[in-house]
């Protein structure tokens, strides 16, 4: 029996690979593709890169990806700061500040009906 393996192209290095990971429909909608192919080598590299980055997604605290200490005065940094030196371990890491959008809406005064007395209409 000679079962032929379906081959894909690694998205990262272009080498042929049998690896293919299909996204769930909801994931695919976010990422914009149906699935991804990465060869074993690239998978390993991406995994290593990801492990190294040690991304800290603490919503309200700024956490150092080296010593994982929480940095006081996070408001001291602003959106232009892309690199931060940890006050604890003195190592430099990258920072992205995301601002949460809030919404405030109100009716226009000029749309208030004449003689409106403060009750719902």
Out of 37, 62, 63, 64, the only residue in the binding site for Zn ion (CB under 5 A) is 64
Which C-beta is closer to Zn ion: that of 35 or that of 121?
Answer: 35
Q: Which stretch binds Zn ion (CB under 5 A): 1-9, 23-31, 32-40, 55-63?
A: 32-40
Distance CA 14, CA 75 (A): 43
Distance CA 101, CA 97 (A): 13
Out of 19, 36, 77, 88, the only residue in the binding site for Zn ion (CB under 5 A) is 88
CA atoms within 13 A on the CB side of 94: 5
Asked whether 82 and 95 are in contact (CB, 8 A), the reply is yes
Output the smallest distance, CB 119 to Zn ion, in A: 58
- 63 lies in the site for Zn ion, by CB under 5 A: no
Enumerate helices (H) and strands (E) in the chain, giving the number of each.
2, 8
Residues making contact with Zn ion (CB under 5 A)? 10, 12-13, 15, 39, 42, 64, 66-67, 86, 88-89
């Amino acid at each position: 029996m000679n079962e032929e393996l379906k081959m894909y192209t690694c998205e990262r290095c272009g080498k042929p690979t049998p690896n293919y990971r299909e996204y769930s429909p909801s994931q695919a909608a976010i990422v914009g593709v149906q699935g991804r192919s990465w060869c074993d080598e690239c998978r390993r590299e991406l995994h290593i890169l990801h492990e190294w980055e040690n991304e800290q997604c603490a919503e309200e605290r700024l956490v150092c990806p080296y010593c994982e200490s929480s940095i006081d005065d996070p408001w001291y940094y602003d959106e232009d700061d892309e690199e931060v030196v940890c006050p604890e371990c003195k190592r430099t890491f990258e920072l992205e500040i995301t601002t949460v959008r809030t919404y405030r809406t109100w009716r226009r005064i000029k749309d208030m009906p004449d003689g409106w007395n403060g009750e719902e209409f």
